[in-house]
């Protein structure tokens, strides 16, 4: 052990104290921001409806997924009715560090939390405002949206609230927009206990009401939404001397794992030039068409027409009718 002289120890102590006094440890100052946004309900709360209770939590996010426990819970304002008759509220996270976050929305029912939506927000200098969100009050309607050939597609699904009873629902003008998942499924916010008519198309200005989905109950799952389906027409060979032709209406095939729609039905016609030479009614995807006259043996250029129904579009095609 090396012993320093007393003077050396005193001088060393003074040096250490002097360094500590003149160069304190640097502290990192964190910039905080305000994150806020609005949400609304998909409809108007009635006088007897109980207002839903929501919890809004903020998570650090990586690739759109939450990381760890919530870093904050939002302050939520009271629900207020807007001019377009929907109840709306504002929420805010008053002071959080800059970064990328996931805002998750939960409905609390009897102390159980149910996920009702999520949105990613990048919080940077100043205030960060989150995209508007419509939250389901109760279980949403979920399903898959397809095109007219039953292929997975990017078409839009909207809904309008209708009466759950009565002969024919009265359609309103207020649209509720669905949100979409990476696997092609959609989620449509609803109000508990109510019913909705679904529409599908490229935009809110060119939407088709979907056959069979004009009165869907809130919380219905596994709904298949598509425009009127397209079909292909063909005619089988006619036996010489017969006055009956079989016209097939082939429907598009549903994707694997999905139920095939009901086969086409409705009126079918055969035309030769400007003259209709036969008509019949399709059932189960084919029609027995009664011809006006017996056709000569050989090939006849005809025009097949299917008038469509509530599930299928009208279609027509040129074909060769063979009589053998």
Over 50: is that where the pLDDT of 255 sits? yes
Of the pLDDT bands very low, low, confident and very high (cuts 50, 70, 90), residue 25 is very low
Over 90: is that where the pLDDT of 101 sits? yes
Of the pLDDT bands very low, low, confident and very high (cuts 50, 70, 90), residue 208 is confident
Q: Are residues 213 and 292 in the same domain?
A: no
Q: What is the pLDDT of residues 142-164, one digit of tens each?
A: 999 888 888 877 788 989 888 88
Q: What is the pLDDT of residues 52-97, one digit of tens each?
A: 999 999 999 998 899 999 999 999 988 887 655 578 999 999 989 9
Task: Assess if residue 26 is contained within a domain.
Answer: no
Q: Are residues 130 and 147 in the same domain?
A: no
Q: Are residues 122 and 53 in the same domain?
A: yes
Say what the alpha-carbon torsion angle 259, 260, 265, 271 is, to the nearest 10 degrees. 160
- What is the pTM (predicted TM-score) of this model? 0.73
Q: How many domains does the chain have?
A: 3
Number of H helices, E strands in the chain: 1, 26
State the residue range of the domain holding 58.
32-134
Which has more confidence, 314 or 205? 314
Closest CA to 123 of 91, 143, 98, 102: 98
Q: Are residues 149 and 195 in the same domain?
A: yes
What's the average model confidence in pLDDT over 215-233?
91
Over 80: is that where the pLDDT of 10 sits? no
Q: Are residues 123 and 150 in the same domain?
A: no
What pLDDT, on the 0 to 100 scale, is given for residue 124?
83
């Amino acid at each position: 052990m090396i012993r320093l002289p007393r003077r050396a120890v005193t001088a060393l102590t003074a040096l250490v104290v002097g360094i500590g006094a003149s160069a304190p440890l640097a502290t990192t100052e964190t910039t905080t921001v305000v994150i806020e946004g609005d949400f609304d309900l998909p409809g108007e709360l009635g006088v007897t409806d109980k207002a839903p209770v929501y919890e809004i939590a903020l998570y650090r996010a990586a690739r759109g997924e939450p990381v760890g426990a919530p870093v904050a819970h939002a302050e939520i304002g009271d629900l207020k009715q807007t001019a377009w008759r929907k109840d709306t509220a504002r929420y805010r996270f008053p002071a959080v560090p800059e970064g990328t976050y996931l805002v998750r929305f939960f409905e609390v029912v009897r102390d159980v939390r149910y996920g009702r939506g999520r949105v990613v927000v990048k919080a940077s200098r100043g205030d960060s405002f989150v995209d508007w969100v419509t939250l389901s009050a109760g279980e949403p309607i979920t399903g898959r949206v397809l095109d007219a050939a039953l292929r997975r597609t990017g078409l839009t699904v909207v809904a309008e609230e209708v009466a759950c009873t009565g002969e024919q629902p009265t359609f309103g003008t207020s649209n509720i927009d669905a949100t979409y998942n990476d696997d092609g499924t959609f989620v449509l916010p609803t109000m508990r206990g109510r019913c909705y008519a679904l529409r599908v198309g490229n935009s809110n200005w060119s939407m088709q009401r979907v056959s069979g989905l004009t009165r869907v109950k809130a919380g219905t799952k596994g709904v298949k939404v598509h425009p009127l389906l397209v079909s292909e027409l063909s005619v089988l060979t006619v036996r010489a001397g017969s006055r009956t032709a079989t016209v097939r209406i082939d429907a598009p095939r549903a994707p694997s794992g999905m139920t095939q729609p009901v086969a086409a039905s409705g009126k079918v016609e055969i035309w030769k030039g400007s003259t209709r030479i036969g008509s019949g009614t399709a059932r189960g995807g084919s029609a027995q068409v009664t011809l006006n006259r017996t056709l000569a043996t050989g090939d006849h250029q005809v025009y097949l027409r299917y008038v469509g129904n509530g599930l299928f579009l009208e279609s027509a095609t040129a074909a060769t009718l063979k009589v053998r």
